[in-house]
Amino acid sequence: MKNSSISSRVLLFFFFILGQNIYSQAQLSVPDASQKASVSQRIGLTDISISYNRPGVKGRTVLGELVPFDQVWRAGANKNTTISFSTDVLINGQKLHAGTYGLHMIPTKNEWAIIFSNNYWSWGSFNYDVSEDALRINVSPGTGDFTEWLQYTFDNADPNSTTVSLRWDKFKVSFKIDVDVKSNVIANFQREFDDLQGFFWQPWNQAANYCLQNKFNFEEALTWADRSIGINRNTQNQVTKMMILDELGRKSEADELKTNVFAAANEADINTAGYQYLTSGKIDDAIKIFKMNTDKFPGSWNAWDSLAEGYMTKGEDEQAIKYYNKALDMAPENQKARITNTLNTLKK
């Protein structure tokens, strides 16, 4: 009887604990008062993302009350606002390594501290520790249009930089992010060459052309062009090498290669070479190659069309009109409308 009583009490305790667990887990999902948001931007090959919660003004005084002066603020609501970078960057000129950071701010009336903390997982700024700072910068706050719900934006994005702005109420706080795009691209090429791409001629030629178009790293670009030629010698990668040799001041080598390449090239190959020069900004060289193509293949409408495009790119409209008309007379029906539209634009 005694054992039966003990067993009953144990069983009752078990059901009580089970009930408590079920009750504690039985929570329905409801909207957060400060809803979660994220925003991202790619600069070059660098991905930048900000994750945050958006409190509202709701008629309150924000600066000095809701967000006190001279205290660390999570720069959002709820959990840490976080910012991540897929590569190293510069923040207002100071280096910050790739990674994810907790984003905090300390507002004052004249200057704000913006803090990138190695601790990105905490709830807000309650456990903020200055020893975990990865970077701290000071900025001057600005003003902007009224924004009810706190918002992060990427402003003034260009090929190498962007500006991050926090907008809330009538204030705006910004910092600039610069990316070393060229170095990142070269480092990424090296990784991709170690993968499947390294077995084909096109990626090596593409990498060499990237350096050509951006006018840097010519010595290494030459080795990449040679690697491409070693896999599959063709007009495209030989023209790439020829252009790099020109940039390196090795004119005699470039001229010798040019003679050999174009002697055996067909109309399509020469045309492609002309566009390699055109996209690299070497318009006069491109026109010379397009002219060579019309001399070798005078019956090709495409050769005359490309020559006209070369002159149009240079801004010599009369010459462009002349050669577009010649191309129009020879072009197939499915090309006539495009050429006619181009001519009409040039004649305006």
Indicate whether 67 and 165 sit together in one domain: yes
Tokens of 218: 């010519």
Indicate whether 245 and 308 sit together in one domain: yes
CA dist 48 and 176 (Å) reads: 12
Tokens of 98: 């790739």
pLDDT at 10: 47
For the chain, give the mean pLDDT.
92
User: Of 108, 124, 50, whose CA–CA distance to 83 is shortest?
Assistant: 50
Q: Enter the DSSP assignment of 111.
A: -
pLDDT at 4: 52
Per-residue pLDDT at 95 exceeds 80: yes
Q: How confident is the model at residue 186 (pLDDT cuts 50, 70, 90)?
A: very high
Mean pLDDT of 142-153: 96
Judge contact between 231 and 247, C-beta under 8 A. Answer: no
pLDDT at 20: 55
What's the length of the chain?
348
Judge contact between 137 and 96, C-beta under 8 A. Answer: no
What range does the domain containing 333 cover? 182-347
Mean pLDDT of 124-128: 92
Per-residue pLDDT at 318 exceeds 70: yes
Per-residue pLDDT at 344 exceeds 70: yes
Q: What is the CATH number of the domain that holds 234?
A: 1.25.40.10
Using the structure block, give the residue that is written with the tokens 């280096």: 95
Using the structure block, give the residue that is written with the tokens 């079920």: 22
pLDDT at 305: 97
Q: How many domains are there within the chain? A: 2
Q: Enter the DSSP assignment of 99.
A: E
Is residue 138 in a domain? yes
pLDDT at 235: 93
Indicate whether 192 and 318 sit together in one domain: yes
Per-residue pLDDT at 2 exceeds 60: no
Q: How confident is the model at residue 30 (pLDDT cuts 50, 70, 90)?
A: confident
Residues contacting residue 216 through CB under 8 Å, at least 6 positions apart: 182
Indicate whether 212 and 341 sit together in one domain: yes
Using the structure block, give the residue that is written with the tokens 């001057």: 140
H-assigned helices in 194-282: 201-214, 218-231, 235-247, 251-264, 267-279
pLDDT at 25: 64
φ and ψ of 328, to 5 deg: -60, -40
3-state secondary structure of 179: coil
What does the pLDDT look like over 204-238, one tens digit per residue? 999 999 999 999 999 999 999 999 999 999 999 99
What does the pLDDT look like over 4-23, one tens digit per residue? 555 555 444 454 454 555 55
CA 242-243-246 angle, 5° bins:
90
Indicate whether 134 and 209 sit together in one domain: no
More confident residue, 112 or 30: 112
Mean pLDDT of 47-65: 96
Indicate whether 160 and 193 sit together in one domain: no
End-to-end CA gap in the chain: 108
Judge contact between 218 and 246, C-beta under 8 A. Answer: no
Q: Could you count the other beta carbons within 10 Å of the beta carbon of residue 187?
A: 13
Question: Domain boundary residue among 144, 179, 214?
Answer: 179
Q: Counting beta carbons within 10 angstroms of the beta carbon of residue 1, is it exposed (0 to 12), middle (13 to 18) or buried (19 or more)?
A: exposed
**pTM of structure:** 0.81
Is residue 19 in a domain? no
In one letter, which amino acid is 91?
Answer: I
Beta bridge partners of 175: 164
Tokens of 275: 């566009």
What does the pLDDT look like over 172-184, one tens digit per residue? 999 999 999 999 9
CA dist 52 and 36 (Å) reads: 6
The DSSP string of 124-159 is: TTTT--GGGEEEEEEE--EEEEEEEEEEEEEES--S
Indicate whether 202 and 341 sit together in one domain: yes
Determine which of 20-34, 54-68, 103-117, 300-314 has the lowest per-residue pLDDT on average.
20-34
Tokens of 111: 């200057």
What does the pLDDT look like over 243-293, one tens digit per residue? 999 999 999 999 999 999 998 899 999 999 999 999 889 999 999 999 999
Is residue 8 in a domain? no
Indicate whether 211 and 162 sit together in one domain: no
Q: Are strands 94-96 and 99-107 parallel, antiparallel or unpaired?
A: unpaired
Indicate whether 188 and 336 sit together in one domain: yes
Q: Counting beta carbons within 10 angstroms of the beta carbon of residue 38, is it exposed (0 to 12), middle (13 to 18) or buried (19 or more)?
A: exposed
Indicate whether 196 and 129 sit together in one domain: no
Indicate whether 159 and 200 sit together in one domain: no
Question: Domain boundary residue among 179, 203, 228?
Answer: 179
Question: Domain boundary residue among 148, 179, 210?
Answer: 179
